[in-house]
Structure 1
Amino acid sequence: MNNLRRLDLNLLVTLDVLLSEHNVTRAAERLNFSQPSVSVHLAKLRDIFGDPLLLPGPRGMRPTAKADELREPLRKALEALEQAVSPAGPFDPAQARHTWRVAAADYGESTVLLPALAGLRSAAPGTRLAVVQMVPARIAKQAEQGEIDLALHTTDGAPSGLHQRALFTERYVLAGRAGHPRLKRRPTLSQFCELEHVVVSPDGGGFRGITDEVLTEAGLARRVVLSVPHFLFLLSVLANTDLVAMLPSRLIRNTSALRIVEPPIDIPGYEMSMLWHERRHRDPAHQWLREHIATSV
């Protein structure tokens, strides 16, 4: 460690060239240094390593055993450093071998990742995608520590300090099974409240949502008879019972098993965004992934 503190990059570059050329004059020409400067560098290197490194020989200079030991690890170290400080080249998805990790709830999986998946597999077949459980309270820490690359979250309530890109604005519709006897037309507000509703409660066990808040302000209440933690089960419930639900429209578009009607009351929608940390912001591969997702939804 003491030797490392005494070194600077110029000395290591000089040593690498000297071990290649075995000649101070040729090394000076390659480095665009004066011959005396290279000689000064060599003297410093000899002092640091406690070894002559290069000795006079019949055809220039010959390396010592210590110099031979240094040659390969020094070359690899300089190549790694050169790669680290070189400007990033353009990202080629066809050659990529990345593993991306995205935090998403089942809504984000269905409405954002699923539309992007086919194009992702086609454009970047050597990559992998890991979808991890969305825990809103942990998003910022996971992103900061590099545990996730992206998170899919509503813009409202997203953790501060992360980059955001809005993907779309969502609205709510009323859905029930195809052929539902009470959804042949748009129900009145009174009829809407009399229907038996199911809600998604991500935290588990809740029987209220944004719809109930709006109804409460109007002095009304609906009948919520079932609470489930995920949308997947809710969709099966709707298709096989006479329960209804207020659902994000993108979640059930092109779903023939369900009938969709406009609700008799205006329910505020929300904006869906993807979030990421500053550490990934300028990475060409990450930029490509963000653009691909944004143009797929």
Structure 2
Amino acid sequence: MSNLRRIDLNLLLTLDALLKEQNVTRTAERLHFSQPSISVHLARLREIFDDPLLLPGPRGMRPTARAEALREPLRQALAALEQAIAPAAPFDPQRDVHTWRVAASDYSESAILLPLMAELRRQAPATRMAIVEHAPQRLAQQTVQEGVDLVFHTGDEGAQGLCQQVLFTEKYVLAGRADHPRLRQPLSPEAFCELEQVIVSPTGGGFQGITDEILTRRGLSRRVVLSVPHFLFMKAVLESSDLVAMLPARLAMANPALIVLPPPVELPGFEMAMFWPERVHRDPAHRWLREFIRAGISGSA
């Protein structure tokens, strides 16, 4: 590294051109420098390498043995440097190989990724996607410590320092099995509270949520008899029992095994967003994936 500190890139470019042209005038024209500037560069190069490098000859200049030894390594080094600083190539989804690491809950897997997966495979057949379980309390750390480059999470709980784009606003519906005898028409809050219900508790074991808070304000309470950690299991329970649930609409609407009714009490929805770290913000492959997801969500709305 001490040798590199003694030289700048212009000197290496001049040496490369001199070895190709073997003429100071043509080298000056090639590099758009004045002829005296090239002579100054050559003098500096001779000092650095402690070698004449190019000597007068019958037809211009002839390289010394030291210069000949430098020719190919110098060409390769400049080519590698040119490649390193070249603008990032556009992402070609039909041909480029790439792996994305995505953190998602089972809701995001079902509501966002699953509907887009077939089209993603069609448009980007050489890519791979690793879906890992997301950790709501440490979204930013996942992007650093686990190499995650895209996270799906509610927009009101974004992580500090991550880029963000809201995808859609989700609402809740009342859902149960398609032939449920009590779900033939919209229910009053009182009738709703009489039904046995299942709730998703992401933190594990909870039996209350925002629905219970709203019911309490009205002097009501419901019968939550089952608490589960994932929506996937909740849907299986609804399809095979008389239990009902307040379910995000995107998980229920396309399921013919479930019947969907308006919620018996007005519930606030939530924004669903995708988050990503600055390190991939301008990456062509990552930008393509974000646009693909955004367009796919908009098309299915």
- Which residue of the partner structure matches residue 76 of structure 1? 76
Cα separation, partners in 2 of 1:72 and 1:146, compared to 1, 3 Å: farther
* Residue in structure 2 matched with residue 163 of structure 1 by the alignment: 163
C-alpha contact (below 8 Å) 1:144/1:279 kept by paired residues: no
Secondary structure at 2:36's aligned position in 1?
A: helix
Equivalent position SS for 1:93: coil
SS in 2 for 1:289: helix
1:106-125 to 2 correspondences below 5 Å: 106-125=106-125
Taking the aligned partners of 1:126 and 1:196, their CA distance within structure 2 comes to: 47
Deviates more, 1:114-123 or 1:1-10: 114-123
CA distance in 1, matches of 2:217, 2:74: 72
- Code of the aligned partner of 2:128: R
Give the deviation of 1:161 after TM superposition: 2.5
Segment drifting more, 202-211 vs 17-26:
17-26
Give the aligned residue type for 2:214.
V
1:182-205 alpha-carbon deviations (Å, 9 max, x no partner): 212222212211211111112222
* Alpha carbons 1:199, 1:245 under 8 Å: kept: yes
- How many residues matched? 297
Structure 1's unaligned 5+ residue stretches are none
What amino acid sits opposite 2:153 in the alignment? H
Helix, strand or coil for the counterpart of 2:182?
coil
From the superposition, tell whether residues 46 and 277 of structure 1 become closer, same or farther in structure 2 (CA, over 3 Å): same
Q: Which runs of 5+ in 2 are unaligned?
A: none
What does 1:1-297 correspond to in 2, within 5 Å? 1-143=1-143, 147-297=147-297
Judging changes above 3 Å, is the alpha-carbon distance between structure 1 residues 58 and 134 closer, same or farther for their aligned structure 2 residues? same
| Aligned-partner SS, 2:168 | strand
Deviations 1:241-283 (A, max 9, x none): 1111111000122211111111211111101111122232233
Amino acid at match of 1:113: L
Which one-letter code corresponds to 2:38 in the other structure? V
Pair 69,208 (structure 1): closer, same or farther in 2 beyond 3 Å: farther
Instruction: Tell which deviates more after alignment, 257-266 or 22-31.
Output: 22-31
Q: d(CA) in 1 for partners of 2:275 and 2:14?
A: 45
Q: Which moved more, 1:237-246 or 1:281-290?
A: 281-290
How much has 1:139 moved relative to structure 2? 1.9
1:140-195 deviation per Cα after TM superposition (whole angstroms, max 9, x unaligned): 23335781221111101111322221111100011111211221222221221121
- SS of the aligned residue for 1:100 comes to strand
RMSD: 2.1
SS at match of 2:148: coil
Opposite residue 113 of structure 2, the aligned amino acid is L
Confirm or deny: 8 A CA contact 1:27 1:38 kept in the other structure. yes
Do 1:176 and 1:183's aligned partners in 2 also have CA atoms closer than 8 Å?
yes
Shift of 1:64: 4.1
Letter in 2 for 1:268: P
